[in-house]
A and B are shown apart, each in its own frame.
Chain A
């Protein structure tokens, strides 16, 4: 694989050709333009996901003060402290999920930022690989939620 020459003269797209820069190996203006257009939306979702993760944790831990009273009103067959532990475990699970979504999406957006600056094939590969990791994670979670939804729908029919 050819390395970038640090002593090469700077290049720009003055010719209007499809090439993004020197030694780009398939990193065209069209490819970078599409990734740049995606970056803003993925950053938006990434930030929202991390805010949701923090809010879920905050509400779960803040609920402890009023939890005993609420649980006593519901007349559950187990003590309120046990119910609170279950709520905390569920909250941590969903917060971790939201955080991971945010982590993968922000990682992709940052990789596209780097690609915009350098225009190298290795940064394109990095951005696409981060995108792939997001879809692997999202695919596994969506299958789990699909099974859960299917169970709920079938049990109610």
Chain B
């Protein structure tokens, strides 16, 4: 555990350590600093993409589609929006890491990153399964 009573430290010596206690190194902090704007950009573009697709859906008269198809489309848009929010959360956690320099904050930032990929992976697996299921159903319908 980090000592909360430890004196504040900086890298005046030019050494490799980023801060007191179990801290990340200057090199790792620098890489994360350069990752942060791109993670933020990915989050913002993800959210904007969701909004644009929502506008496209509404303008093309999605209300005339079957209600189940519209519902599935909105669920997918919702997941896309959530993924964008997760990336913004990752960028925010990197910002906290850069202020504190603690390894526990690096782990917290990487946990957001892991959740992003997990949700994205489960999402794609569900899309694959639904696609395969739809393919089988249409094949059965065509044969019948």
Contacts and interface: CB of A to CB of B under 8 A. Distances in A.
Given A31-B107, A121-B27, A138 B42 contact: yes
A143 interface: yes
Contacts, number: 115
Task: State the main secondary structure of chain A at its contact with B.
Answer: helix
Interface residues of A, number: 41
Given A31-B106, A128-B31, A135-B35, A150 B45 contact: no
Nearest to A25: B25
Given A26-B28, A31-B106, A121-B27, A37 B114 contact: yes
Interface of B: 1, 16-18, 22-25, 27-28, 31-32, 34-35, 38-39, 41-42, 45-46, 48-49, 52-53, 55-56, 59-60, 103-104, 106-107, 110-111, 113-114, 117-118, 120-121, 124
Task: State the main secondary structure of chain B at its contact with A.
Answer: helix
Contact of A146 (B1, B39, B52): B52
Interface stretch (A41-49, A77-85, A93-101): A41-49
29 contacts: A1-B16, A25-B16, A25-B17, A26-B22, A26-B28, A26-B103, A31-B106, A34-B110, A34-B114, A38-B110, A38-B113, A38-B117, A41-B118, A41-B120, A42-B117, A45-B120, A45-B121, A121-B27, A125-B25, A125-B28, A132-B31, A142-B46, A143-B41, A143-B45, A149-B49, A150-B52, A153-B56, A156-B56, A156-B60
